[in-house]
């Protein structure tokens, strides 16, 4: 990816400036072709650590490594010209100390060309966010259901119901004060998401939150119907590509077994001129 090619991509400050404006559009991506398809339509693209579950068959995001994020981050960067690239910090790469977070964030940005990193956590991670931002690392925060903490959150439950809403509000305020340029709100009550969005001065990016957030994000394989192991209530399937793909594979298997594929148009004779492609 040349510096010229990425010149028109928004910067984290441009995303922050969209607070209260036309909703920000975002999806996850893990591969170059998918990134190319969404580049014209998304304001930013996230290489989420959901890659572990969606593409690698892991049971949670806990087994995702820096190497996986860098590999997929590089692939997505090759497909983007105008959307901003954000890469997730995997579990264990930032929680120990701000210095550890900086080392790994700098590596993710240097090796993938990402404009920013995303990390999970609110009040607890605020000092780390401030440390990173002060050293040139733009941070997108992620609060509410934080999948890297499922073992302490009791699974993939809605977060912030009732009195717990106040703690989430404190998380949102803490990451905004620490200098995050945006915050993902995952799986929390709609009314709480709306209150947080009204309260803080950085864009909220909802996933299972509220249409009133400053933007939305979904896992691309979920919304395309490609990842069907389970479907969260907050996922809307905009297509059923998984079903179409399986039907096409079954057609192919039938054609091979019935010797109707390859047809005469797919094979070569001795004297045929070399086809163009």
Residues that bind ligand KIV (CB under 6 A): 28, 46, 48-50, 88, 142, 184, 207, 217, 219
Q: Which is nearer to ligand KIV, 23 or 267 (CB)?
A: 23
Determine the 3-state secondary structure of 105 from DSSP: helix
Query: Of 95, 235, 83, 216, which Cα lies nearest the Cα of 156?
Result: 235
Q: Which of 99, 111, 186, 243 is catalytic?
A: 186
Give least dist CB 51 to ligand KIV, A: 7
Nearer to ligand KIV, 5 or 223 (CB): 223
CB of 210 to ligand KIV, least distance (A): 15
By C-beta, is 5 or 212 nearer to ligand KIV?
Answer: 212
Per-position b or e across 141-153, b if 16+ CB within 10 A of its CB: bbbbbbbbeeeee
Cβ atoms of residues 144 and 209 within 8 Å? yes
Three-state SS for 184? strand
Which among 23, 79, 27 has a CA at the least distance from the CA of 220?
Answer: 27
120 is catalytic: no
**Number of separate helices (H) and strands (E) present in the chain:** 11, 8
Q: Which residue is nearest to ligand KIV (CB)?
A: 48
Query: Shortest distance, CB of residue 60 to ligand KIV, whole angstroms?
Result: 11
Q: Which sequence positions are flagged as catalytic?
A: 186
């Amino acid at each position: 990816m040349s510096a010229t090619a990425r010149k028109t991509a928004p910067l984290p400050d441009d995303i922050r400036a969209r607070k209260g404006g036309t909703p920000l559009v975002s999806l996850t991506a893990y591969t170059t072709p998918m990134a190319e398809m969404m580049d014209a339509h998304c304001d930013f693209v996230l290489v989420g650590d959901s890659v572990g579950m969606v593409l690698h068959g892991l049971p949670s995001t806990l087994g995702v490594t820096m190497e996986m994020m860098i590999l997929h981050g590089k692939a997505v960067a090759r497909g983007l010209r105008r959307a901003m690239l954000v890469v997730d910090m995997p579990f264990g790469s930032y929680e120990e100390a701000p210095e550890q977070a900086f080392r790994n964030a700098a590596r993710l940005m240097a090796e993938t060309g990402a404009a920013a990193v995303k990390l999970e956590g609110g009040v607890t991670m605020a000092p780390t966010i401030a440390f990173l931002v002060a050293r040139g690392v733009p941070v997108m925060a992620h609060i509410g259901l934080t999948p890297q903490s499922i073992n302490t959150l009791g699974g993939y439950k809605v977060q912030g119901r009732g009195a717990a809403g106040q703690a989430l509000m404190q998380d949102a305020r803490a990451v905004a004060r620490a200098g995050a340029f945006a915050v993902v709100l995952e799986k929390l009550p709609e009314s709480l998401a709306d209150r947080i969005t009204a309260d803080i001065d950085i864009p909220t990016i909802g996933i299972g939150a509220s249409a009133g957030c400053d933007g939305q994000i979904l896992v691309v394989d979920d919304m395309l119907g490609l990842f069907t192991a389970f479907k969260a209530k907050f996922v809307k399937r905009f297509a059923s590509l998984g079903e179409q793909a399986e039907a096409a594979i079954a057609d192919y298997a039938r054609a091979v077994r019935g010797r109707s594929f390859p047809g005469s148009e797919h094979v070569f004779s001795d004297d045929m001129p070399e086809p163009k492609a």
